[in-house]
Chain A
């Protein structure tokens, strides 16, 4: 077979495989992310079937996947929701950060990672998968529950923290001193605030610039603008992911709904290739040795998430069963943990990869299972419920 033929066949088989994995995951009531990671580990370097021809394409597509993941994260954001969450659940957000980031940092140091790697691992253990949780709450019919606003507020505050954490991480990984890391973060905080303010005042102009009756026009304009901003952010030494996030943030809510609907399928496709590319870059032989440490870390940070949800729900006056539901719902880690690990691996810290992959595998599966066990009787999955990733 020539190269083009091999590329097309490899990609085709890959996407068919992803579809089957997605079906299997949904049947089990789990997120497809861990299944995709396992499959990608089995392919590629040190795996069973090498996926050679498609790999350069997958690497480029993975970059776009990260950009689209962060763009849609930014689109989810609305300043009123953010400020309301900060006002009402600020302390819960702080508890979340203090309980869940330090275990990752300490574990990183214990595993012999440099401090930058430990910082990345702190991000990996901190951030709950909003995609998995949103889907889970919908599937389990918990959206109307009284503990749910607290759970969602914690997720919103994590997204905000993510916007501030990514530039800090990128500066730290670039080998900057502590001072330049602080300066970089200050710059990031300033930029995020500036964009939020500008979006309040002038977001509708940007929305009008991108709006068009034709979905195709909207897609091309939005995708083009996002890639340009992401590329410029990357060139300036920030991360492409941060640039994409800012674009999502700057778009007005009226436009964001339509943009999300149009971008959805594209985001799913490229995000899947991102997870595949991340799994491919990891040698499965390197996951096994770190597995005991990863399991311990998963147990500890699972417990700290339960404590976080417990605390947040109690502040809303929710009784014991609801607090437990809130806590266990937050256990799952997923796409954004992989994004953080991917940035660390790309910056020359390959040791973060196997740890993060193992960790996400364990908690993306364990989180939904644990919280399901608390439901009094099995709930049938309803089709057609929209959720991110």
Chain B
């Protein structure tokens, strides 16, 4: 992968702005808001400091766009893996706000002990934590990527979403 010209700027109280200079010469601005919404903008040619054509996305719409652009790539990688090992599948499990595992270390889920599945990544907003450690803290809104047998994954889903 060639280097991508992506600049990250903190917007105190709002969120984070990403600025991507595409190879085709356009500048793309993405503001990811703390509440989960986002704004996507291109910049004015005459006044390059000014965002115009601002597209506003609600949190669920952001999820949908992220799903379209990001998730297939991630799951595709595991899909390749599952093809190589028959019987191995992958799944994505959200940590919902109010789940008993919020703010607790990954190890507390005891996922492997109870279901035999391995949690191979934590997707947090736009970041991915690959090969997370048992002491890594889970946050509300995280998505856990796990691989295991179909049955194990079903058990894991029930285990993660079970009330305390």
Contact = CB atoms under 8 A, between A and B. Distances in A.
B162 to A, nearest CB: 13
A149 B13 contact: no
Interface of A: 76, 78, 80-82, 84-85, 130, 134, 137, 141-149, 152-153, 155-156, 204, 207-208, 211, 213, 254, 257-258, 318-319, 321-322, 325, 382, 384-386
A254 B103 contact: yes
A155 B94 CA distance: 35
Interface stretch (B27-35, B75-83, B110-118, B143-151): B27-35
Interface string B45-76: 00111111010101000000000000000000
Given A81-B10, A149-B11, A153-B12, A143 B39 contact: yes
Contact of B50 (A145, A156, A213, A385): A145
B13 A156 contact: yes
A144 B31 contact: yes
Q: Is the interface of A mostly helix, strand, loop or mixed?
A: helix
Interface in B1-45: 9-14, 17, 29-31, 33-35, 37, 39, 41, 43
Contact of B17 (A80, A81, A143): A143
B164 interface: yes
A319 B103 contact: no
A386 B31 CA distance: 14
8 contacts: A141-B39, A141-B41, A143-B14, A144-B30, A148-B11, A155-B12, A318-B49, A319-B47
Given A141-B51, A322-B50, A384-B58, A76 B13 contact: yes
Given A152-B12, A321-B47, A322-B47, 5 more contacts: A84-B10, A84-B12, A144-B43, A146-B49, A385-B56
Nearest to A147: B49
A318 B49 CA distance: 7
A144 B39 contact: yes
Contacts of A141: 39, 41, 51-52, 54
A258 B29 contact: no
A285 to B, nearest CB: 39
